[in-house]
């Protein structure tokens, strides 16, 4: 809650400045300001934790995985993936890699492959393509 909404919520502060102007209207205004402030803060921090929530199934998003022990120094693991619309929980691209590993690479050879669970910790919506690049007239 911001300083301004605290003041809006204070009946005594407004009773002196605007008597009989509707305390409920001021509370609704404060609620609206709080909601808008929260949305602005959410947009400032575009990476969303998968523990917090998953993206809408079927929507392609950027995904981030933390560096692994065998990665090159300063490696960044960012890719694209989509939550499967059929179950709403699994990641389509990651599952394809895992299934390939299980069918082809897994066996008697001492290979390591992807884990069954996607290693993603965060995701972010893919921004819209700029009009100049989309082929649409500006």
pTM: predicted TM-score of the whole model, two decimal places: 0.56
Summarised one tens digit per residue, pLDDT across range 111-125 is 566 666 778 899 999
**CA–CA separation, 85 vs 67, rounded Å?**
28
In the chain, how many H helices and how many E strands? 5, 4
Mean pLDDT taken over the chain: 76
CB 131 within 8 A of CB 138: yes
Q: What is the mean pLDDT of residues 93-121?
A: 68
In a 10 Å sphere around its CB, with 0-12 CB exposed, 13-18 middle and 19+ buried, how is residue 119 labelled? middle
pLDDT for res 29? 81
What is the H or E stretch that residue 80 is in? strand 77-82
Residue 91: how many CB atoms within 10 A of its CB? 23
């Amino acid at each position: 809650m911001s300083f301004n909404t605290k003041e809006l919520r204070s009946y005594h502060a407004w009773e002196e400045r605007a008597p009989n102007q509707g305390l409920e209207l001021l509370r609704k205004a404060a609620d609206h300001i709080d909601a808008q402030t929260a949305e602005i803060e959410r947009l400032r921090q575009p990476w969303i934790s998968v523990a917090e929530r998953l993206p809408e199934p079927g929507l392609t998003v950027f995904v981030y995985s933390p560096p692994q022990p065998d990665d090159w120094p300063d490696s960044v693991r960012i890719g694209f993936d989509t939550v499967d619309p059929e179950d709403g929980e699994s990641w389509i691209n990651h599952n394809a890699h895992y299934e390939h590993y299980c069918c082809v690479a897994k066996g008697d050879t001492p290979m390591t492959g992807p884990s069954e669970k996607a290693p993603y910790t965060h995701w972010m919506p893919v921004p819209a393509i700029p009009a100049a690049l989309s082929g649409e007239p500006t």
